[in-house]
Amino acid sequence: MNAKTEKVVRKGDWKVTMTPDDIYRHPMDIAWHFDYIFGEEKVADLYKRAKQNQWDADDLLPWDTPVDPSKPLINNEQDIYHKMSFFKKLSKSQQETFTAHSTAQLLSQFLHGEQGALMTAACVTHSVPDAGAKLYAATQTMDEARHVEVYSKYCDKIAMVYPMSPWLKALIDATLQSDRYEKVMIGMNMVVEGLALGAFNNMYRSTTCPLLKQLTFNVMRDESRHVSFGHVFLGPVIKNLHKDDVEDLAEFAFNAVNILVQAQTAGTIANRVDPGFMQVLENSGIDANDFFKGLQEAADEGVAQTLPPGQVHALKDLMMPAIARVGLLTPTVLKKYEEAGIPVFDDPRVLVAMEGGHPTGEAAAAE
């Protein structure tokens, strides 16, 4: 990290380090579109829903709700780390400190990810060669601005912002730096937002903070439209592309998923090369070697793989089905998933339920 640009922020009792601002040039195609035909019915419907469901966080959310940053914001039984044998041996205060900090680190990823989403949505607005999709992408841009606003405000309340995880930055940068708008939509509306929708759902389910619950519920409703957009607009576009172009997009989707999968440890975002996560361990007084050994043991025992009822697995339930249904699991790319050890899922039931405005996928889970 560049020491000159490193910005160290002290909030509350804990030291958190922000990565330096990052600026790069990117020549993206800009597409004017003069027919002003907003024809595609499903995209027009999403645009209408987006207009009708705009919300003002100042009016809607109970910002005066007291939040104690030193206390866990989530229910322990829903937390994957609490199932580790190693974790159960820690003192109660160490467990609480870790839970508070790891939740803050996760919320920080929501915040940074929303900034990335804001930029990708703006990018789709100016690069997509379709009048209706431009209008829809503009509403998504406003949605993402609101999401940055609410997560920033919530992080201020808990007085902690952790740096962006390198894998999330790499994933969003690969998306923003791609050479065509379809890739921007695959990277954001299918992969990152699939991940986000899963994480928001699980946060909604597990948080004990009424403000965070309500905030997450509203953000999730917006996100379900964003994931739908990836399907209803891009699905038909991909169907009409030359097979070499489809292959190019399928490979891009694979690479994006692979960044995410390779960064995880035992299905969690805990990672040794993530300075923010290592800082969580340090702030909680937990030895990193012991922690990752414990996490690996939990994975070997299959403990980490079992999700509590109602929680969704972002890769299995949202991302892979989204990629599959637009035809991006080609035979060539399926081999790559196999070589990388990434299981392929194409059951869209949870995805469809969440797109339909069921925030927790309960409709699918209840079947």
Scanning 9-17, 21-29, 115-123, 298-306 for contacts with Fe ion by CB under 5 A, the matching segment is 115-123
Count of residues in contact with Fe ion, rule CB under 5 A:
7
Q: What's at 322, amino acid-wise?
A: A
Contacts of 253 (CB under 8 A, 6+ apart): 186, 190, 191, 323, 328, 333
Compare residues 124 and 295 and give the one whose CB is closer to Fe ion.
Answer: 124
Compare residues 101 and 112 and give the one whose CB is closer to Fe ion.
Answer: 112
Which string of x and - marks every residue 209-248 that binds Fe ion (by CB under 5 A)?
Answer: --------------x--x----------------------
Interacting positions 246-285 with Fe ion (CB under 5 A) = none
Binding flag, residue 123, Fe ion (CB under 5 A): no
Q: Which of 107, 117, 135, 286 binds Fe ion (CB under 5 A)?
A: 117
Report the alpha-carbon distance of residue 361 to residue 289 in Å, rounded.
36
Report the alpha-carbon distance of residue 152 to residue 132 in Å, rounded.
31
Question: How many Cβ atoms are within 10 Å of 337's Cβ, its own excluded?
Answer: 19
80: tokens are 């994957």
Scanning 117-125, 254-262, 308-316, 352-360 for contacts with Fe ion by CB under 5 A, the matching segment is 117-125
DSSP code, position 61: S
Report the alpha-carbon distance of residue 86 to residue 67 in Å, rounded.
28
Interacting positions 79-108 with Fe ion (CB under 5 A) = none
Residue with tokens 């928001």: 200
Dihedral Cα 133, 135, 140, 145, nearest 10 deg: 150
Which string of x and - marks every residue 144-183 that binds Fe ion (by CB under 5 A)?
Answer: x--x------------------------------------
115: tokens are 């900034």
Compare residues 101 and 225 and give the one whose CB is closer to Fe ion.
Answer: 225
Chain contacts with Fe ion (rule: CB under 5 A):
114, 117, 144, 147, 193, 223, 226
